[in-house]
Chains A and B, each alone.
Chain A
Amino acid sequence: AQSVTQLDSQVPVFEEAPVELRCNYSSSVSVYLFWYVQYPNQGLQLLLKYLSGSTLVESINGFEAEFNKSQTSFHLRKPSVHISDTAEYFCAVISQGAQKLVFGQGTRLTINP
C-alpha cells in the first residue's frame, strides 16, 4: 500500500531564508509524485509534479523538488521565501496502477518578516 509522510507539521522561517519541506513515501512500485499548495481559505493548487524523466522538477514561483528513489523522498525546497508563500503544502503520491492520490498530512509554512 502506498503512504506519504510529511515529517514536519509546521515550519516557521524568516522572509528571504531558504526552506525545505520534507516528504517521504512508501510504495512497492513506480510512483508519480506531487506537491500541492493550499493558501488560506482556498482550494489545492498543483505546485509541481514528477511523472517521469528528470528527477528535479521546478515550479514557476521558485520552488523545486527532487525525486530520490533510493531515499523514497520528494522534498520541496525554495532558496528564498516570501511572505506570499505562507500556506499549507501537501505532498501526494499515486503508485502506477493504483486508483487514488494519497496525501500527506500537510506542512504549514509560516513566513515571519
Chain B
Amino acid sequence: GENVEQHPSTLSVQEGDSAVIKCTYSDSASNYFPWYKQELGKGPQLIIDIRSNVGEKKDQRIAVTLNKTAKHFSLHITETQPEDSAVYFCAASRVGFKTIFGAGTRLFVKA
C-alpha cells in the first residue's frame, strides 16, 4: 500500500537553532503535502502545506520544500523556540484518496 516515511522520530535542538524533518512518499501521483503540529493533549493543527506545482513555501519561521523527482519533502523551522516543542506529522495525498500520515517526529527545543 501507499506509505509515508518520516525521519527522525525524535529531534532535540537548542533554542534558536534550526530543525529539519524529512518525509518520503511512495505514491508518485500524490500532489498535496500538509504538515501538522500536535501539542500534548490537543488535536493536530495544520501549520503549512504545499502542492506539487510549487517547490517551496514559506510562512514566517516555517518553510516546506518539495522534490517531486525524489518523492520527498521537508519541514524547516528556523530560530526555534520552546513553544515549537510538539509532535509533527507529515502527510501525502491526492484528491479522491485517503491521506497517508507519517509516523511523527517528536521535537524538543531546549531553552
Q: Do A and B bind each other?
A: no
Q: Which residues of A contact B (CB under 8 A)?
A: none
